[in-house]
Structure 1
Amino acid sequence: MQTLAVHIEDNYIQNFMSYVNKHSSDISVSKDENLELDPYFYERKKKLHQIRDDVQNGKMRLLTQEESDNEIELFFKELENN
């Protein structure tokens, strides 16, 4: 069995569902709860995994909370000066 993501135009959904119902022994349809909650779930997941890998292999530095707060404070000061 293979799982595919299928994007269906709103005006074609009835035709698609009729086709699926006619072939219900070969096709099952279910909603992906992750996509229901966040349409960009899988893109975000991929990006987060890449960030984690970059931190682990040293390509990206992970800041402490204090370092992050200082960076944000500096950023806002620069904005105020411009």
Structure 2
Amino acid sequence: MKTLTIDIQDSFLKEFLNFVQKNQNKILVRNSSDYEDIYFDDRKKQLQKIREDIKDGKEKLYSIDEFEKRFDLFEKEIDKKYAN
């Protein structure tokens, strides 16, 4: 058996997985720990974009204390707005 690493276009993924399933007696699929889910690359890109936006000042990163204060205020506003 030979080992290959492949990149698959998103639009071809379902077709490829169907092919693998139909030929499972000839193909052994091993997932690396980084790629346990098929959306790993998408999430990685999203996180990289968020980090860039924070560095560029387009997004703000709050401390845990500031986040808790803001979230407490948000909860109070929601409670007030939707109280019976």
Bin for the TM-score computed over the shorter chain = 0.5 to 0.7
> CA offset at residue 42 of structure 1?
1.6
Q: Indicate the RMSD between aligned Cα atoms, in angstroms.
A: 2.9
Residue segments in structure 2 that go unaligned for 5+ positions in a row? none
TM-score, with normalisation over the residues of structure 1? 0.64
3-state SS of 2:41 partner: helix
Q: How does 1:1-80 map to 2 (within 5 A)?
A: 3-5=6-8, 6-7=13-14, 8-9=17-18, 13-15=21-23, 18=26, 30-36=30-36, 38-80=37-79
TM-score, with normalisation over the residues of structure 2? 0.63
Large movers: runs of 4+ above 4 Å = none
3-state SS of 2:67 partner: helix
Letter in structure 2 aligned against 1:49? Q
Of all paired residues, the percent bearing the same amino acid is: 29
Letter in structure 2 aligned against 1:56? K
